[in-house]
Amino acid sequence: QVQLVQSGAEVKKPGASVKVSCKASGYTFTSYGISWVRQAPGQGLEWMGWISAYNGNTNYAQKLQGRVTMTTDTSTSTAYMELRSLRSDDTAVYYCARGGDTAMVNYWGQGTLVTVSS
């Protein structure tokens, strides 16, 4: 069965960076892209970007351009999302999901809570 297992919760200070991992299993990793979506406490979903696990092509949300980097490691079927220069409003649950860029997004990770606080 398809599973996406994310890394654990993080607490970071403003200005720091965070790197969240998303390990995929149960399917051919390079056949699907990975989307990243975040949700601030009590707020809605926000699309962050997408990466092709086939060739590494990326699309990032315009508001995060320059602060976010998405990568994949095909040898371990793992996707990564790094967010730099963290601010308090980056506090959110970060989700990875299989699909995106017109392909259906039908499997989600369990979410990773990132808290940014001084």
Partner 1 sequence: QSALTQPPSASGSPGQSVTISCTGTSSDVGGYNYVSWYQQHPGKAPKLMIYEVSKRPSGVPDRFSGSKSGNTASLTVSGLQAEDEADYYCSSYAGSQEVFGGGTKLTVL
Binding flag, residue 53, partner 1 (CB under 8 A): no
Binding flag, residue 45, partner 1 (CB under 8 A): yes
Count Cβ atoms below 10 Å from residue 106 Cβ, excluding itself.
10
Binding map of partner 1 across residues 71-100, x = CB under 8 A, - = no contact: ------------------------x-x--x
Residue written as token pair 């980056």: 90
Q: Give the whole-angstrom CA distance, residue 50 versus residue 60.
A: 7
Q: Give the whole-angstrom CA distance, residue 35 versus residue 40.
A: 17
Binding-site ranges for partner 1 (CB under 8 A): 35, 37, 44-47, 50, 59, 61-62, 95, 97, 100-102, 104-106, 108-111
